Amino acid sequence: MNLRWYHFLLWAAFAATLMLMPELVSKGTLRTMIFACYLAIFAVSWDLLSGRTGYISFGHPFLIGIGAYTTAILSKRFDVPLELSIPIAVVVTMIGGLIVLLPALRIKGSYFALVTLAYMELIYQLTQVVRPDLTGGTRGISGIETLTRGAVNGYYLAATLLIILTIFSWALMRTRIGTALWAIGMNEESVRGSGLSTTKLKCFAFLASAFVAGLGGAFYVHYLGSIAPRALFDINFLFTILVAVLIGGAGTIIGPVMGAFFLVFLLEWLRPWLPGAERYFIYGLIALVIYMYEPKGIIRIFSNLLGKLRGANK
């Protein structure tokens, strides 16, 4: 695992900061942070799968959506209690993860990205056409049972989930499996050459990613209280997740979390000044410029700054 004392310190500081937020900021800001937490969970999930292995998923909303829709349908249409419907949703999402894995056994890179994009488009169209009595068709489902009420409770739940999932993912990536996944991203053949089963490794990455996506998606829908195909299986949703990861720094777990918070806050801070479509324009431009300036993300910008400071001190 290669743990150091400062790892514990940093994670404790991270958790403490998140947990202290309700004392420090207004309820309106907390609401914004809840969205940031969920986006961060989705970004971490994406990072588990794509950040290291080089299998770029453009269909992540596919997985999140499966989780969200499963528990929404079970609890709303069949009155399944949430304690049961959420675990089922996670399992179903992991099965969905295996479906995404299938093409990954043969294709890579841009091709893989495209198949996953096709998955997302396919499920977008299917949720509207197949069994609209269950999925609610285009209008989706409203009035889904929520886990909490109020900004503070909702925030504690989202933040706790985020902290647990991030530490879980981070620890996972520090094991030998994580290193092997890196190696797949670098050179899959050589990993195979060294006697490891790449299929097993990939299978593991996909399942871990789907687990986080399913859990995040299920809690997300029970926070929102409503679900609609256009809100989930949408290129804009995909866009937010991807940009959060990449602005933050792919392959680092904590980078995507930073990216998610940065983006959500950027969008909300622009609101009072630019209420309309201008907001998305400026938001997109800022994302593009940061990304072009440092494709390795904010985390790299920080570590560079830190490096420079250290260099100046010497």
List binders of other proteins among 212-241 (CB under 8 A). 224-226, 228, 230-231, 235-237, 239
Minimum separation from the CB atom of position 310 to other proteins (A): 28
Asked whether 89 and 214 are in contact (CB, 8 A), the reply is yes
Site membership for other proteins, residue 4 (CB under 8 A): no
Minimum separation from the CB atom of position 205 to other proteins (A): 17
Minimum separation from the CB atom of position 142 to other proteins (A): 4
Nearer to other proteins, 163 or 243 (CB): 243
Site membership for other proteins, residue 187 (CB under 8 A): no
Minimum separation from the CB atom of position 130 to other proteins (A): 9
Question: Quick one: CA torsion of 134, 49, 242, 151, rounded to 10 degrees?
Answer: 60
Site membership for other proteins, residue 242 (CB under 8 A): yes
Asked whether 67 and 215 are in contact (CB, 8 A), the reply is yes
**Segment 119 to 178, residues that bind other proteins, using CB under 8 A:** 119, 121-122, 125-126, 128-129, 132, 136-140, 142-144, 146, 149-151
User: How many residues are listed for the chain in this entry?
Assistant: 314
Of the candidate spans 29-37, 164-172, 192-200, 303-311, the one that interacts with other proteins by CB under 8 A turns out to be 29-37
Q: Which residues contact 6 (CB under 8 A, 6 or more apart)?
A: none
**Segment 266 to 285, residues that bind other proteins, using CB under 8 A:** 268, 271-281, 284-285
Number of residues that bind other proteins (CB under 8 A): 74
- Residue pointed to by tokens 């079970």: 74
Strand partners, 226: 142
Site membership for other proteins, residue 185 (CB under 8 A): no
**H or E element in which residue 69 lies:** helix 60-77
Among 164, 295, 305, 306, binds other proteins (CB under 8 A): 295
Site membership for other proteins, residue 193 (CB under 8 A): no
Asked whether 49 and 42 are in contact (CB, 8 A), the reply is no
Nearer to other proteins, 230 or 308 (CB): 230
Site membership for other proteins, residue 298 (CB under 8 A): no
Closest alpha carbon to 264 in 27, 43, 19: 43
Asked whether 187 and 270 are in contact (CB, 8 A), the reply is no
In one letter, which amino acid is 235?
I
Minimum separation from the CB atom of position 233 to other proteins (A): 12
Minimum separation from the CB atom of position 86 to other proteins (A): 18
Distances (CA, A) of 157 to 18, 81, 120, 150: 11, 18, 28, 11
- Residue pointed to by tokens 């195979």: 192
Q: Where are the alpha helices (DSSP H) in 175-234?
A: 176-186, 188-193, 198-224, 229-232
Minimum separation from the CB atom of position 134 to other proteins (A): 12
**Segment 55 to 94, residues that bind other proteins, using CB under 8 A:** 56
Nearer to other proteins, 214 or 251 (CB): 251
- CA dist 283 and 16 (Å) reads 29
